[in-house]
Amino acid sequence: MAATTADGSKVVGGGEKSNVDEESKMITLFSSDGERFEVTQEAAAMSQTIHHMMEDGCVDDEGVHLPNVGSSILAMVIEYCNRHVASPDEKEDIRSFDAGFVNVEHHTLFDIIRAANYLDVKELMDLCCQTVADSIKSKSVEEIRELFGIVNDFTPEEEAEIRKENQWAFE
């Protein structure tokens, strides 16, 4: 079965071989808006949340319902897991895949972070958090606020006070 990614391209679950290989078991995932995704158990197991459910036998014939993850985000997470499970040793390829994967709009990236957190996909969380951190590095406070839409609720005096309090950090 295919999963649709955010830009409309279709990705086959688990790499091409899983459709032919009858041994690799498939598992059905349901997004919050009821869309259905078929994934190999191997790819699904990258999510510790789902992995534990499989281990504890909590997955019934119907599949796993993920009320916290929307279909477009779930599709992306599945794409990530599929890619990482398919050829975990090709480091260069994976690196460029990862770079392209996080090259998305803000709100999407944060949705992915939340989904990865809920599903407990450690590698994806690390990747996304590092991406956010990289965008913060070497920026001034004002630039960071602008980038993330953080409202400055300090008065100028308060801000000066905090700077003085933490002078040791700004020397």
Partner 1 sequence: MDHRSSSTKLCKYVAHEDFISNLPDGLKDKILCCLPIKEAVATCLLSRNWRYTWTSMTELMFRADDFTSENGNANDDKSRFLKFTDMFLSLHDGPILKFGLNTKDVQIYTGGHIYRWMLILSRKRIKELQLRTTMRDCYKIPSSFFSCHELESVYLRFCRLTTSQLPLLSKGFKQLHTLHLECCYILGGNNFGDLVASCPNLNKLILNRIYSLADINIHSTKLKMLTLDGHFKHLNLHTPCLTSAVIKLRPLPSDASKIRCNFNFSQFIASLSDVESISYLGPILERAEHELLVLKLPKSFNRLKRISLDLDLGNLKEANLALYLFQHAPYLQFINLQLTSNEPIVPAVHFWESIDRHVCLFQNVRAVGMINFTGSGAELGFLKLILEDAPVLKRAFINDNGKLGKDDLKNLLKLRRASKDAEIVIFSGSVPPV
- The alpha carbon dihedral of 127, 115, 80, 144 has a sign of negative
Span from 19-27, 48-56, 64-72, 136-144 in contact with partner 1 (CB under 8 A): 136-144
Site for partner 1 in 5-34 (CB under 8 A): 5, 7, 9
Query: Is residue 131 a contact partner of residue 102, using CB atoms and an 8 Å limit?
Result: yes
- Picking from 42, 54, 124, the residue whose alpha carbon sits closest to that of residue 86 is 42
Span from 45-53, 66-74, 84-92, 103-111 in contact with partner 1 (CB under 8 A): 103-111
Q: Cβ of 166: how many Cβ atoms within 10 Å? A: 10
SS3 64: strand
- CB closer to partner 1, 1 vs 141: 141
Interface with partner 1 (CB under 8 A): 5, 7, 9, 79, 96-97, 99-107, 109-110, 113-114, 117, 125-126, 129-138, 141, 144-154, 159, 162-163, 166, 168-171
